[in-house]
């Protein structure tokens, strides 16, 4: 009896081993499961600024332009050519023979409708500020259309990489509520189903105008707990887990990483009416000298972050100034500057939040710790996300310093300057007419070389007279199955068409 | 003569009480452990030279026993995700955890006892209204109410205390009421009334002291309960916020690093567990000791 039992047990264990061994060779090379950090809020791709929706809808919808993977230059996608009519009017040709997933052909009407819908105040898109430089779009003939901008806009083509092209008839046939649950694009994948709380499935579009993808089916699962996502990856339940922690790298079968466009910055309150010590330039410089950004990047982010080189961008951005070097970590110099500025231990309120971005809470505490060490009397205050937003956007409540993150998906220095410095921006906590004028002039300069020079000049000024602790930009870090072939893009888009499994 | 006798009696009673306590090994050990723990927490600076908020990023996630930098003592329990000494953080974090647990229970006890005594003593409509309120109140889960309150008012230690206090009075209210019901009809209260003692005086001087022991038991066990609740909420991010720290917060912040640095989670978990267990054992002992219905002795 006992013997039989032992035999039976051995058999079961052997069977288990055999089965796990056979799992090593992938049976289905056409299906992928991806773990996202949370559930998407809607499928209406023009509305939200939703990092859990974009990885899905970017595969369902095409845009007129896409960023070239290496150079980050806009390249024609659904548009095939461009012609500048005057400094405000751009004329485009539309790709022919493209069909929506429901079989209807893509027309100029759809494009005009999509652009006008995305910039409309009625839709009130959460990324409206990235596209509202567009005044309107209009049809010219069967495959020509025009886009008119409010001011001369050198960033127009990059803005078009954000606008998903929808079907006019399909969109108009559905109510706003229905549109949150359905999708009909021209992209390489068709929407299949969205099981709330569980997953979204998409499948390859057999009528796609471009190259057919290697992966035919994709399932997106929502796993909020990072450790759970890692376990799912190790168990082979998912093939790609997005945004893992740097600490997980050694437990991850294959690591996918690239630089991205999120930059942490700590805003100084320079509003003249407010009572902030950081109205003093020397103290702003002192704070930048007081923090060892290199150690933070290497030890806290394990190297998956790059310290800002004394400016709010990194190489490859339009307007990045390669001649500026980072502020050295020099506590003595910081103390000298503080003494010269007459800093007398006045309390400094440091507002932050935690849980939204990679290691935001830990970064806050690390920065506070460095500032305290240099002699700044920092009091950290962690707020909930909504309270934090309130404080960030309300100039009367502006704290002395506040941690925030700037995402520069245009890879262009206009983004940080317009968002963080320009006095009319809701996030800015300063008012300097000279800087405002320079930023606005550069923003409307259509000559690339001139713009580059203007931004380099501004970056140099902001190095002498910092508006923030230029902290660090974090890298994209994903964990994947050992046989997944993929190179992450600098624009962080998760195009399935660029992925495959090796044999 | 009579006086002498009383003294002798009390002394004798004290001896047997101590004897019984000594014989209850579990309660004795729990008491000793708790006293040691409290001493370490309140005299933290004697036991560790580390500052609770000084981070050393180069030494983050060091395992227990790692030598400290330049003349500092060893990190006996390792370091956390910012390279801070975990032992120091547990000691200083304990202050917040105990403060929240204790304050919440005190507030709950005051509100609950006042309302419960009134309900039990006056009866009738007062009783009806207060007890239905208790029923409604205790039908909603404590943590859920607390989370909602914190979400509205914003996270932080002060708001956490308010949020938990809102939920902490109902048990005291029930206890106080049932005891007051018994006392109301006792000959002592009746004779008090007969000789014209005022109602507040009867309640505070005669009823309250006589119902103290079950309330003390409740108090001790509820303190343990709310230390747990603080840990839960801070773990979830609704409680104490950095740069302050508490056991639950250390756990919550460390759970992402469970695989690489299990000590960040194990030690605060252990300390919470030990504290709660000790309080419960002591609470049990008090109940057994003072409950006349307990047949132990």
Q: How far is it, in rounded angstroms, from Cα A485 to Cα B246?
A: 44
Looking at the fold, whether A268 and A403 belong to one and the same domain comes out as yes
What pLDDT is attached to residue B94? 92
Looking at the fold, whether A304 and A423 belong to one and the same domain comes out as yes
Looking at the fold, whether A165 and A84 belong to one and the same domain comes out as yes
Is the Cβ of A366 closer than 8 Å to some Cβ of chain B? yes
What pLDDT is attached to residue B50? 87
What pLDDT is attached to residue A330? 94
Residue where a domain stops, chosen among A115, A146, A172? A172
Residue predicted with more confidence, B287 or A39: A39
Does residue A434 surpass a pLDDT of 90? yes
Is the Cβ of A471 closer than 8 Å to some Cβ of chain B? no
Does residue B2 surpass a pLDDT of 50? no
Chain A's closest residue to B151, CA to CA, is: A384
Touching A: B residues 155-174, CB under 8 Å: 155
Touching A: B residues 206-245, CB under 8 Å: 237, 241-243
All domains in chain B, ordered by first residue = 94-257+284-290 (1.10.3720.10)
Closest CA–CA distance from residue A300 to any residue of chain B (Å): 6
Residues of chain A contacting residue B259, judged by C-beta atoms under 8 Å apart: 227, 230, 247-248, 251
- By the 8 A CB rule, do A257 and A478 touch? yes
Chain B interface test: which of A359, A365, A390 (most B C-beta within 10 Å): A365
Looking at the fold, whether A69 and A104 belong to one and the same domain comes out as yes
Report yes or no on A85 lying in a domain. yes
Kindly indicate the confidence band of residue A44, based on its pLDDT and cuts at 50, 70 and 90: very high
- By the 8 A CB rule, do A493 and A311 touch? no
Domain tally for chain A?
Answer: 3
Does residue A42 surpass a pLDDT of 60? yes
Report yes or no on A9 lying in a domain. no
Does residue B297 surpass a pLDDT of 80? no
Looking at the fold, whether A211 and A164 belong to one and the same domain comes out as no
What would the mean pLDDT of A207-213 be, rounded to a whole number?
93
Chain B interface test: which of A362, A380, A397, A403 (most B C-beta within 10 Å): A362
Looking at the fold, whether A375 and A304 belong to one and the same domain comes out as yes
Regarding beta strands A79-84 and A401-407, do their DSSP bridges make them parallel or antiparallel, or are they unpaired? unpaired
Looking at the fold, whether A296 and A420 belong to one and the same domain comes out as yes
Residue where a domain stops, chosen among A147, A172, A197? A172
What would the mean pLDDT of A399-412 be, rounded to a whole number?
92
Closest CA–CA distance from residue A368 to any residue of chain B (Å): 9
Q: How far is it, in rounded angstroms, from Cα B146 to Cα B248?
A: 15
Does residue A218 surpass a pLDDT of 80? yes
Is the Cβ of A297 closer than 8 Å to some Cβ of chain B? no
Mean pLDDT of chain B: 85
Report yes or no on A116 lying in a domain. yes
Kindly indicate the confidence band of residue A53, based on its pLDDT and cuts at 50, 70 and 90: very high
Q: How far is it, in rounded angstroms, from Cα A191 to Cα A194?
A: 8
**Which of A247, A296, A383 faces B57 most closely, judged by CB atoms?**
A296
What would the mean pLDDT of B93-99 be, rounded to a whole number?
92
B243 cis-preceded (ω within 30 degrees of 0): yes
Range of the domain at A403: 260-475
What pLDDT is attached to residue B210? 76
Is the Cβ of B82 closer than 8 Å to some Cβ of chain A? yes
Does residue A4 surpass a pLDDT of 90? no
Is the Cβ of A302 closer than 8 Å to some Cβ of chain B? no
Touching B: A residues 216-275, CB under 8 Å: 226-227, 230, 245, 247-248, 251
Does residue A208 surpass a pLDDT of 90? yes
Is the Cβ of A126 closer than 8 Å to some Cβ of chain B? no
CATH value at residue A110: 3.90.76.10
Mean pLDDT of chain A: 91
Q: In degrees to the nearest 10, what's the CA dihedral of B286, B287, B292, B297?
A: -70
Looking at the fold, whether A453 and A335 belong to one and the same domain comes out as yes
Per residue in B242-251, is it b (16+ CB within 10 Å) or e — as a string?
bbbbbbbbbb
The two tokens of residue A298 are 């290497």
Report yes or no on A183 lying in a domain. no
Query: Does an H or E element contain A259, and which?
Result: strand A254-268
For the ranges A33-37, B42-46, B167-171, the maximum mean pLDDT occurs at: A33-37
Q: Furthest-apart CA pair in chain B: how many Å?
A: 76
CATH value at residue A488: 3.40.190.10
Residues of chain B contacting residue A376, judged by C-beta atoms under 8 Å apart: none
Looking at the fold, whether A366 and A384 belong to one and the same domain comes out as yes
Residue where a domain stops, chosen among A137, A172, A207? A172
What would the mean pLDDT of A329-358 be, rounded to a whole number?
92
Residues of chain A contacting residue B257, judged by C-beta atoms under 8 Å apart: 245, 247
Q: In degrees to the nearest 10, what's the CA dihedral of B255, B261, B266, B269?
A: -30
Q: Facing residues of A189 across strands?
A: A204
Report yes or no on A4 lying in a domain. no
Q: Facing residues of A218 across strands?
A: A32, A202
What would the mean pLDDT of A267-291 be, rounded to a whole number?
93
What would the mean pLDDT of B78-88 be, rounded to a whole number?
90
**Which of A230, A295, A355 faces B58 most closely, judged by CB atoms?**
A295
Looking at the fold, whether A490 and A427 belong to one and the same domain comes out as no
Chain A's closest residue to B240, CA to CA, is: A382
pTM: 0.82
Cβ contact, residue pair B82, A366, below 8 Å: yes
Cβ contact, residue pair A245, B255, below 8 Å: no
Report yes or no on A6 lying in a domain. no
Report yes or no on A404 lying in a domain. yes
What pLDDT is attached to residue A1? 53
CATH value at residue A301: 3.10.105.10
Cβ contact, residue pair A365, B241, below 8 Å: no
Q: How far is it, in rounded angstroms, from Cα A202 to Cα A192?
A: 5
Provide the ipTM: 0.74
Q: Which residues contact B198 (CB under 8 A, 6 or more apart)?
A: none
Touching B: A residues 273-292, CB under 8 Å: 292
Report yes or no on A47 lying in a domain. no
Q: How far is it, in rounded angstroms, from Cα A319 to Cα A445?
A: 12
Is the Cβ of B25 closer than 8 Å to some Cβ of chain A? no
Query: Does an H or E element contain A191, and which?
Result: strand A189-195
What pLDDT is attached to residue B52? 84
Kindly indicate the confidence band of residue B198, based on its pLDDT and cuts at 50, 70 and 90: confident
Looking at the fold, whether A304 and A445 belong to one and the same domain comes out as yes
Kindly indicate the confidence band of residue A379, based on its pLDDT and cuts at 50, 70 and 90: very high
Closest CA–CA distance from residue A304 to any residue of chain B (Å): 15
Closest CA–CA distance from residue A415 to any residue of chain B (Å): 31
Looking at the fold, whether A137 and A199 belong to one and the same domain comes out as no
Kindly indicate the confidence band of residue A27, based on its pLDDT and cuts at 50, 70 and 90: confident
């Amino acid at each position: 009896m006992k013997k039989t039992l032992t035999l039976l047990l051995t058999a079961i264990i052997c069977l288990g081993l055999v089965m796990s061994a056979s799992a090593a060779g992938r049976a289905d090379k056409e299906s992928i499961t991806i773990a996202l950090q949370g559930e998407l809020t809607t499928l209406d791709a023009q509305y939200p600024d939703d990092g859990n929706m974009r990885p899905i809808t970017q595969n369902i919808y095409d845009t007129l332009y896409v960023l070239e993977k290496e150079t980050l230059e806009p390249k024609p996608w659904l548009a095939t050519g461009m012609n500048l009519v005057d400094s405000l009017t751009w004329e485009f040709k539309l790709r022919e023979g493209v069909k929506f997933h429901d079989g209807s052909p893509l027309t100029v009407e759809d494009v005009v409708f999509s652009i006008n819908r995305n910039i409309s105040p009625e839709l009130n898109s959460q990324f409206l500020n990235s596209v509202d430089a567009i005044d309107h779009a209009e049809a010219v003939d069967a495959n020509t259309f025009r886009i008119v901008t409010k001011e001369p806009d050198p960033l127009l083509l990059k803005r078009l990489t954000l606008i998903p092209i929808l079907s006019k008839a399909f969109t108009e046939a559905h109510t706003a509520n229905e549109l949150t649950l359905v999708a009909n694009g021209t992209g390489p994948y068709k929407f299949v189903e969205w099981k709330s709380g569980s997953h979204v499935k998409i499948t390859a579009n057999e009528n796609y105008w471009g190259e057919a993808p290697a992966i035919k089916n994709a399932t997106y699962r929502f796993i909020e707990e990072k450790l759970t996502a890692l376990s799912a990856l190790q168990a082979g339940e998912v093939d790609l887990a997005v945004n893992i922690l740097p600490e997980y790298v050694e437990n991850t079968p294959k690591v996918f990483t690239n630089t991205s466009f999120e930059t942490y910055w700590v805003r100084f309150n320079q509003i003249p009416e407010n009572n902030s010590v950081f109205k003093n330039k020397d103290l702003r410089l002192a704070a930048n000298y007081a923090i060892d950004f290199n150690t933070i990047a290497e030890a806290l982010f394990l190297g998956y972050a790059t310290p800002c080189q004394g400016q709010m961008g990194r190489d490859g951005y339009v307007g990045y100034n390669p001649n500026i070097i980072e502020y050295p970590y020099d506590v003595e110099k910081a103390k000298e500057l503080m003494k010269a500025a007459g800093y007398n231990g006045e309390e400094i309120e440091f507002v932050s939040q935690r849980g939204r971005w990679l290691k935001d809470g830990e970064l806050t505490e690390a920065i506070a710790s460095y500032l305290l060490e240099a002699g700044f009397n920092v009091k950290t205050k962690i707020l909930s996300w909504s309270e934090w937003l309130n404080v960030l956007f309300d100039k009367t409540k502006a704290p002395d310093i506040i941690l925030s993150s700037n995402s520069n998906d245009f890879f262009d220095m206009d983004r940080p300057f317009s968002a963080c410095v320009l006095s009319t921006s809701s996030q800015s906590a300063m008012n300097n007419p000279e800087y405002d004028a320079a930023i606005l002039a550069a923003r409307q300069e259509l000559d690339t070389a001139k713009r580059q020079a203007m931004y380099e000049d501004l970056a140099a000024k902001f190095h002498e007279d910092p508006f923030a602790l230029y902290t660090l930009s974090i890298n994209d870090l994903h964990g994947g199955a050992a046989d997944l072939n993929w190179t992450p893009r600098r624009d962080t888009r998760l195009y399935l068409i660029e992925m495959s499994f090796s044999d | 003569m009579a006086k002498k006798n009383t003294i002798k009696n009390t002394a004798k009673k004290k001896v047997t009480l101590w004897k019984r306590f000594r014989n209850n090994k579990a309660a004795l050990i729990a008491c000793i452990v708790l006293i040691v723990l409290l001493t370490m927490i309140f005299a933290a600076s004697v036991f560790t030279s580390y500052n609770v908020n000084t981070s050393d990023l180069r030494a983050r996630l060091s395992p227990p026993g790692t030598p400290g930098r330049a003349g500092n003592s060893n990190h006996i329990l390792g370091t956390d995700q910012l390279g801070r000494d975990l032992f120091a953080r547990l000691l200083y974090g304990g202050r917040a955890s105990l403060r929240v647990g204790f304050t919440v229970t005190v507030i709950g006890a005051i509100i609950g006892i006042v309302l419960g005594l009134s309900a039990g003593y006056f009866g009738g409509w007062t009783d009806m209204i207060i007890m239905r309120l208790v029923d409604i109140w205790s039908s909603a889960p404590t943590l859920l109410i607390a989370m909602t309150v914190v979400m509205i008012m914003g996270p932080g230690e002060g708001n956490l205390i308010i949020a938990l206090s809102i939920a902490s009075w109902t048990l005291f209210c029930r206890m106080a009421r049932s005891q007051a019901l018994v006392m109301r009809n006792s000959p002592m209260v009746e004779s008090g009334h007969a000789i014209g003692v005022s109602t507040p005086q009867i309640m505070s001087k005669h009823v309250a002291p006589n119902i103290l022991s079950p309330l003390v038991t409740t108090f001790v066990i509820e303190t343990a309960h709310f230390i747990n609740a603080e840990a839960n909420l801070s773990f979830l991010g609704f409680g104490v916020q950095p740069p302050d720290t508490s056991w639950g917060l250390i756990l919550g912040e460390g759970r992402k690093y469970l695989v690489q640095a299990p000590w960040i989670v194990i030690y605060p978990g252990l300390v919470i567990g030990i504290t709660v267990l000790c309080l419960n054992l002591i609470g049990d002992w008090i109940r057994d000791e003072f409950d006349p219905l307990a047949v132990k002795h």
